Chains A and B, each alone.
Chain A
Amino acid sequence: MATRRRMLLKVIILGDSGVGKTSLMNQYVNRKFSNQYKATIGADFLTKEVQFEDRLFTLQIWDTAGQERFQSLGVAFYRGADCCVLVYDVNVMKSFENLNNWREEFLIQASPSDPENFPFVVLGNKVDVDGGNSRVVSEKKAKAWCASKGNIPYFETSAKEGFNVDAAFECIAKNALKNEPEEEIYLPDTIDVAGGGRQQRSTGCEC
């Protein structure tokens, strides 16, 4: 309908198939977990109103298909993103190793104006599985990678148990907000794909 929006913050969740992207989104927005989520085809998003320093924002969280074969769709879905969440499964090494691909692919496809400082957040999900005994990616290793990529904030989560999910998304929202200009902005319906004119600042998360 009307195009004036109260600060829409667009967040994209990326990561290998089956790491729990849909579950994280639903846990955060609907406080629900289901074993019966289907593999995401194409893309979808949920929105949540969040309050931050007395201001209301709409967080638009995009859930995408995890198979790399669908990455070429990213061009349509990633544009105008304010923050990118990279998710891996702490029990699957490959999903961690792929974080770098996801990050680079995102930067290529979303082509933010300041890729060096574009806010990412990394989530190591499924820490609940088997009481942590099947874990193959250590927290230390994950944090080291995050540090090497410009101090990306890192959270360990369990979408199933709801563990750390709120904290993670709070940080995600803050980082997305930092990506926005300070003044209330007018978002036209058609976002300039080049993203010119939208200033970027900020680096890591203080939370």
Chain B
Amino acid sequence: MHETDIHDLSDDADYAASQQQGSASIMRSDSGRQSSSSEPDGAEVVYSKDNVTIHPSQLASERISGRLKLIKQGSALFMTWIPYKGQGSNARLSEKDKNLYTIRAVPLTEVRSVRRHTPAFGWQYIIVVLSSGLAFPPLYFYNGGVKEFLATIKQHVFIVRSAEDANVFLINDFQNPLQRTLSSLELPRAVSVVSDQSVSIDVGESPLDESQESSSRNVRDGRLSTLQYNGRTRLKPQDPARDLSIHVLEKFSLVTKFARETTSQIFGETHNNGFGAIEKRRYNHQSSIDHPEKASNSAEKAPELVPVAADPLEFDEAALIWGKPRQPPLGPEEWVSFLDSEGRVTDSKALRKRIFYGGVEHILRKEVWAFLLGYHAYDSTYAEREYFSVLKKSEYETIKNQWQSISPEQAKRFTKFRERKGLIDKDVVRTDRSLPFYDGDDNPNVNILRDILLTYSFYNFDLGYCQGMSDLLSPILFVMGNEADSFWCFVSLMERLGPNFNRDQNGMHTQLFAISKLVELLDSPLHNYFKQQECLNYFFCFRWVLIQFKREFEYEKTMRLWEVLWTHYMSEHLHLYICVAILKRYRNKIMGEQMDFDTLLKFINELSGQIELDAVIRDAEALCICAGENGAASIPPGTPPSLPIDNGLLLYSQQDDEVL
């Protein structure tokens, strides 16, 4: 709904001008309140730092460097960050991409806080949070200068160090009533991060406490009234503030395109109940309504149930870098543009990026999945692929013949074969039978499913057959149609997911462990909660991981998710971030209702069919960006679906078990 506005802010001419003239042209953005009062020649650059860089993804090649400036204009101070143009190392990024992140003259009056991060290793960075609750992506100071940056701000605007966190600097222009309202509503740091022992929240010492109630009444009396059961303790002010921020952003367009886009996302999602915050608020209210007497006590003593530690990301990183809006799926016309005249994919990275953000139309899946899965090479030609398929078909027939030629007499003496076949027979008749493609008696596709799985269990005799494989194969056969191609695509997939089915379950344990590390990194209160509930084994995510959410979404959506995951665009392990994204969506419900392991497992199982796919993909993208290198470091090397790191000879433990 704000699309047109977005473009107003970032048209190329304006961008180019800002590049050439630096501060002067920046003031000339559009219809915002500043532009009317500002004269270009009144601006003075009071701080300028080169090589301040944004990391939109984990990929070093996608970092965007630029110049950060503080500009004084009369009594007002503005911050800008303009990416360098046409930088060699950023060749992969389009100017449009860069433009997205440009920070174009944000008045410091709209900045609520600056959070400074000074990791022991790596670059210092800051996260700038706006009054609206939005934040810019972390700005990494490759050449240092964070201290100087803060010192410069201090010379021009009122800035205080947060009492809660010495690395957070609060910036408030108390002359501005709107600003005052906004800042008094925003209490992100007022919520202490829980200790291991308790999930209680104490905001009694919040410096902004006093103005809280009056300002919330000012804003939305109706909306906030239910919060009064437990008073300030439970005040989760982000929603009214965000509503307000939309007004702010609409009236004063002196915000970046990025912030705007984010805002329109929030706004857009309000309608379809998409983003977690809305959900969270509802759950919070429910729990407080359900137990008013309990909640009312919570102000005095540490309450047992209701209060939930705030999501640490809600107000900083993730608030801004919510994943980009999903795009429509890749269609035939656009697909052709990725191919050269002989059918080679010229830029596989661009293709994978495109699919990451929108998936592919069903009609193209047959062709595209073969690339994504690694069955066909991106640089193969039409002719080569055709030839390759013929070869592979005959190879498939050879393997298939190995079990087809087993006579009944031989089978009698071949327990392993009989049992394996029995298990597969049992599972294929209960795999997606409600789909027309697999339904009805004697459906030939069910037989093909069986043949492929049995052939696979001979191709990879050590791994054999394991429940869940039929779920993974079903969409592949549905898409590919052809038996041999489906088999080889499945083989490619199992190269990555095979460890999920190892007898010792190590592939699963590694992934569940990685999820626990990521939750610890991205939502420590939730992590502490799981720890306290002895849920750190994350077995409640078992089904999600084992079969890549196959049972959690309807068929079409599963296919969409899989093609997104298979791009490995943001990370090979996006599925783990999807797990975290879903958990975070329901974190307040999980903690608010004090779910124990059993309840949690049931709750998670029953989420099947309820999860909004696009929203969690976006959340996962954002989480992946937020987690950055720390996230990647949380995932042990070789964690599926990474290709195994050993030499391939001992991929699967060979110890026998009863069945198989």
Contacts and interface: CB of A to CB of B under 8 A. Distances in A.
Given A67-B466, A67-B467, A70-B467, A17 B426 contact: yes
Given A41-B542, A189-B594, A69 B503 contact: yes
Nearest to B428: A39
A17 B597 contact: no
Contacts of A94: 419
A72 B505 contact: yes
B551 interface: yes
B467 A44 contact: no
Given A17-B423, A17-B426, A38-B430, A43 B601 contact: yes
A195 B372 CA distance: 49
B596 interface: yes
Contacts of A66: 467
B515 interface: no
B598 interface: yes
B80 interface: no
By DSSP majority rule, is chain B's interface helix, strand, loop, or mixed?
loop
Nearest to B593: A1
The bracket for how many chain B residues form the interface is 35 or more
A36 interface: yes
Given A38-B431, A98-B658, A76 B423 contact: no
A39 B659 contact: no
Interface string B420-437: 001100110011011000
Contacts of B596: 3, 189-190
Contacts of B426: 17-18, 39
B469 to A, nearest CB: 10
Given A44-B601, A44-B602, A38 B551 contact: yes
Contacts of B598: 45, 60
A159 to B, nearest CB: 14
Contacts of B433: 35-36
Contacts of B539: 42-43, 73, 76-77
Most buried by B among A65, A76, A98, A190: A76
Given A17-B467, A41-B467, A41-B542, A69 B434 contact: no
Given A18-B426, A67-B423, A68-B659, A42 B305 contact: no
Nearest to B534: A190
The bracket for how many chain A residues form the interface is 20 to 34
B543 interface: yes
A136 to B, nearest CB: 13
A6 to B, nearest CB: 15
B505 A39 contact: no
A39 B468 CA distance: 8
Most buried by B among A3, A17, A38, A92: A38
B543 A42 contact: yes
A41 B546 contact: yes
Contacts of B300: none
A1 B501 contact: no
Nearest to B425: A18
A100 B434 CA distance: 35
B430 A41 contact: no
Nearest to B291: A1
A1 B594 contact: yes
B179 to A, nearest CB: 41
19 contacts: A2-B305, A3-B594, A3-B596, A17-B427, A38-B471, A39-B426, A41-B542, A41-B546, A42-B539, A45-B601, A60-B598, A69-B505, A69-B657, A72-B504, A76-B539, A94-B419, A189-B594, A190-B533, A190-B534
Given A18-B427, A38-B431, A44-B601, 6 more contacts: A17-B426, A41-B543, A45-B601, A98-B658, A189-B533, A190-B533
Interface of B: 305, 419, 422-423, 426-427, 430-431, 433-434, 466-468, 470-471, 501, 503-505, 533-534, 537, 539, 542-543, 546-547, 551, 593-594, 596-598, 601-602, 605, 657-660
